[in-house]
Amino acid sequence: MDKFVIKGGIPLRGTIRIGGAKNAALPIMAACLLCSSKNTILNIPDMKDVKTMQRLLEHMGAQTQKEGSSLTIDTTDIKNFIAPYELVKTMRASVLVLGPLLARYGFAKVSLPGGCAIGARPINLHLMGLQKMGADIQLESGYVVAKADRLKGAVINFDIPTVTGTENIMMSAVLAKGTTVIENAAMEPEVEDLARCLQSVGAKINGAGQRLIEIEGVDYLKPINMYEIIPDRIQIGTYMTIAGITNGEIVMKGCSIKHLEAVVEKLTNTGIVVQSIQDGIKVKGCEEIRSQDIKTMPYPGFPTDMQAQFMALMTVANGTSVIKENIFENRFMHVAELRRMGADISIDGSVATVRGVKRLKGAPVMATDLRASASLVIAALKAEGQTTIYRIYHLDRGYERMDENLRLLGADIQRLKDDVQV
């Protein structure tokens, strides 16, 4: 297992390139199961979760090839319709193969994802939607076993807007017979990106990116041809926070502030300067960070995937910040670790109150999930002295070469094996 050793206090300056979004790449890779023969996707990020999805598709019989940020997935020989526990337990997004397998092959056996570090995260809404479309769904020894002759269009109303649930139903509906309406759909940009990709191969989808999506099923989809994934808005937001907390100046290329409205508004209110430039964004920190309250909400609200990073910023703000987590019931695992670095944070249910302190001090800390790890990196870059962050594999799931990027920006960061002492 790897760890990061970071010596904080350096204002980070320089230019980095932002790659494709993990949460857009994963459903689009799964969507290759809907399309015959050889699919090519561009701007695929180099990170662990993408590799896990690639392994899962290979396990089903797909042939995949990655060259730089371009990925080819040939689904001609899919013959195994099972997503095994061993892969699903390392990445919940594996559940995204359920809809495509069922729609194209009429059968899927997918391990039921258990709870995870951020909450219980059931998939009842995915299953309800598929049942409404005529699927027979049984739970057998920890697996969802789903069968259908041909799925039929239906009206599906989600109690809660679910991102991967909306994606699973959208992917099922594109090959179903008739029209499917998803009410209270998730409006996240990644849902819209999936829809745009599916439209490029012949799917008939209206309203993606809005609360109501209408999909008219077709008989066949062409192979995906050089579809380019949108930039990763959460990586962008994370580096914006890093520029802010270190009082540095970071230029990000290959991206824009589109899809980051809520994050940019809050960061700007803290005093951080965010500027659109050609083919990118420039972010400048400030001497004194003003405290801001946030509440996480489905898109276009403030994303839960930026909550931990924003909290790290607030630990050194001038004043008190109230942070309400509305999406996941257990997404404050980073709090105990930030406290080890001197942060003053109290929790009451889904509300964290962060009282800004003058300085953070380096400490050994443990990463508990993907975004929590990013918050520890942010705090470590600000802290006096040395911070060791253990279990960095969580971070590697969703950040592309973060240590290399940070070194490029002037950070003192090392990736070491767990047993190496410094």
* Interface with ligand EPU (CB under 6 A): 23, 26, 93, 119, 121-126, 160, 162-165, 186, 190, 304-305, 327-328, 370-371, 398
Encoded tokens for 73: 């997935």
Q: Considering the complex, what minimum distance in angstroms separates the CB of residue 283 from ligand EPU?
A: 21
- Residue nearer to ligand EPU on the CB measure, 114 or 122: 122
- Residue nearer to ligand EPU on the CB measure, 360 or 392: 392
- Paired with 231 in beta bridges are 20
Q: Considering the complex, what minimum distance in angstroms separates the CB of residue 25 from ligand EPU?
A: 9
Question: CB burial class (10 A; 0-12, 13-18, 19+) of residue 28?
Answer: buried
Q: Considering the complex, what minimum distance in angstroms separates the CB of residue 399 from ligand EPU?
A: 10
> CB neighbours (10 Å) of residue 67?
9
Whether 116 is a known active-site residue: answer: yes
One-letter amino acid at 360 equals: L
Q: Considering the complex, what minimum distance in angstroms separates the CB of residue 356 from ligand EPU?
A: 25
Rg (CA), the chain: 21
- Residue nearer to ligand EPU on the CB measure, 160 or 226: 160
> CB neighbours (10 Å) of residue 138?
10
Q: Considering the complex, what minimum distance in angstroms separates the CB of residue 93 from ligand EPU?
A: 4
- Residue nearer to ligand EPU on the CB measure, 165 or 231: 165
- Residue nearer to ligand EPU on the CB measure, 162 or 375: 162
- Residue nearer to ligand EPU on the CB measure, 121 or 355: 121
Q: Considering the complex, what minimum distance in angstroms separates the CB of residue 159 from ligand EPU?
A: 8
Task: Find the catalytic residue in 32, 116, 255, 286.
Answer: 116
Residues 230, 41: contact at Cβ < 8 Å?
no
Could you list the active site residues?
116
